[in-house]
Structure 1
Amino acid sequence: MSRQGTKTDRSGGKVIARRKPIQLLLRRLLWAGLFVGLVFPVAVILFYRLLPPLVTPLMLLRDAPMQYDFVELELISPSLIQAVLVSEDQQFCEHNGFDWKQMGIVWDELLHTGSASRGASTISMQTAKNLFLWPSRSKVRKLLEVPLTLMLETLLPKRRILELYLNIAEFGEGVYGAEAAARAHFNRDAKGLTRGQAARLAAVLPNPLERNAGSPSRNVQNRANQISGQIRIAPAALWSCL
């Protein structure tokens, strides 16, 4: 047997040795892992470039009747777009998926106090999580968010990423997306939301199962007022990529 896995017959010819079953299994597992980890997400993201998601993992995991109606960005109130950008990701038009400055602030807080007063997830990261991953916090999930976010930023324009986010974000129990949220909480379509209503919807995003945009607590209303004030003074560059 040669070092290349061949053997010589009596006539001097070479015969290729058969691969061992374990080698074939490992090779197949490698290709399967490559497909699941790279090819499949890319194919799905390219699908979402043109067509809306039928369902997300979060929708399947929640045990509640689902309200979900995908609409184009033009059919969502500019006030809600501005409120979400102001409250969730003010660097959305500038970053490549990750807000390194915000992540540095959170990291410093963790080092000095052991906890963080805010999150560092961008809209791109949240969209990647909502499209592909599960809601519970874990290091594995956060690790998987990184390549998925890079894929989103590479394959989709910013406008489409925001459109996807606003349509699949959870705004209440079983309520997904701006259109369903506007109807559930304010009995109107997403395009007709006022600035105050839009700010209340943005205010519940960090914890939509415990906060209610239609009947806001004092804390939610205070947060909505802050968001409304930020919209008034926000520079146009904040939504320049849209």
Structure 2
Amino acid sequence: MAGKNTYRKPSPKPTPKIAKKASVFSYIKKLLYKVVFYFFIISIGSVALFKFLPIPFTWTMMDQKVASIMKGEDSEIHYSWRSYNNVSREMHLAVVAAEDQLFPEHFGFDFKHMQIAYKNNLKGKKVRGASTISQQVAKNVFLWQERSYIRKALEVYFTFLIEIIWGKQRILEVYVNVAEMGKNTFGAEAAAQQYFGISAKNLTREQAAKLAAVLPSPRKWSVTKPGPYVSRRVPKITRQMRALGGTAYIKDLRSF
């Protein structure tokens, strides 16, 4: 009936227990937002910063040093940063030929080889992984080594970042500098000095192939005392370097 006042029963006030839960959820939600926000700011800022600055160290180097100390072994890390133009192009080409031949073409991920590796793993075959040079750089510079789904997800994220912000030339420059090429030996400059007594700028194709040949397992295999597998691998890498067209294959890498 028009004009008739209707009575509404007031909503019950939340109990202290419910109110406390709501307050906790609200706090957690705000905290998560802050964590995500600062993570993106710090991660993007770090990648942008290291586009221009030499990498001072990697987590792999730290892990190696700590492990050596714990074992009572020599813990000195051999590492000398060299700019892209101060490393032989043969070295750059050698790691591409050995580790990631589609490096100039893909955007951080080689989906064809990932699919092959996945199928072989399902069959129980022991095969090398399908990580590209970009993925290895993302892992070595920004993440830890132990495998987990969280680390893999972060690896994908940082791979995209460095592909977008760094470009191919910078990624290859960093890889050649931080890749482990022997026990406690990181990068082409330290390896060239230690194994050949020369600068990385003067590495020949054969010498570069020898360094690239031990990359899959640098603590197990030796550049100076190569076993049968490494000895067979070196000429394969040099043949592949020629097949790719020599250093012209990496001449026009994207630098941004």
Instruction: State the TM bucket, normalised to the shorter chain.
Output: 0.7 to 0.9
1:18-57 residue pairs with structure 2 within 5 A? 20=23, 22-36=25-39, 38-57=40-59
Give the root-mean-square deviation of aligned CA atoms. 2.1
- Residue type at the aligned position of 2:252: C
Structure whose CA Rg is larger: 2
Please, which of 37, 57, 60 is the counterpart of residue 58 of structure 1? 60
- Structure 2: 5+ residue stretches without partners: 1-9, 12-21, 66-74
What residue is the counterpart of 1:76 in the other structure?
87
Tell me if the contact between 2:121 and 2:127 (Cα under 8 Å) persists in the aligned partners. no
Alignment of 1:106 with 2:117, yes or no, is: yes
Further displaced range: 212-221 or 88-97: 212-221
What residue is the counterpart of 1:6 in the other structure?
none
C-alpha separation between the residues in 1 aligned to 2:60 and 2:36? 23
- Structure 1: 5+ residue stretches without partners: 3-18
Identity %: 39
Offset at residue 81 of structure 1 (A): 1.0
Offset at residue 215 of structure 1 (A): 2.0
TM-score (norm 1): 0.86
Please, which of 123, 140, 151 is the counterpart of residue 150 of structure 2? 140
Tell me, what secondary structure is at the counterpart of 1:20? helix
Offset at residue 21 of structure 1 (A): 5.5
Offset at residue 178 of structure 1 (A): 0.8
Further displaced range: 21-30 or 128-137: 21-30
Tell me if the contact between 1:91 and 1:238 (Cα under 8 Å) persists in the aligned partners. no
- Paired residues in the alignment total 225
Offset at residue 30 of structure 1 (A): 2.5
Encode CA deviations 1:55-102: one digit per residue, 9 max, x unaligned.
Answer: 111111112211111111111111111111101111111101001111
What residue is the counterpart of 1:207 in the other structure?
217
What residue is the counterpart of 1:88 in the other structure?
99
Question: 1:32–1:138: structure 2 CA closer, same or farther, 3 Å change rule?
Answer: closer
Further displaced range: 214-223 or 41-50: 214-223
What residue is the counterpart of 1:120 in the other structure?
130
C-alpha separation between the residues in 2 aligned to 1:101 and 1:154? 21
Tell me, what secondary structure is at the counterpart of 2:50? helix
Encode CA deviations 1:201-239: one digit per residue, 9 max, x unaligned.
Answer: 000101111111122122111111110111122136742
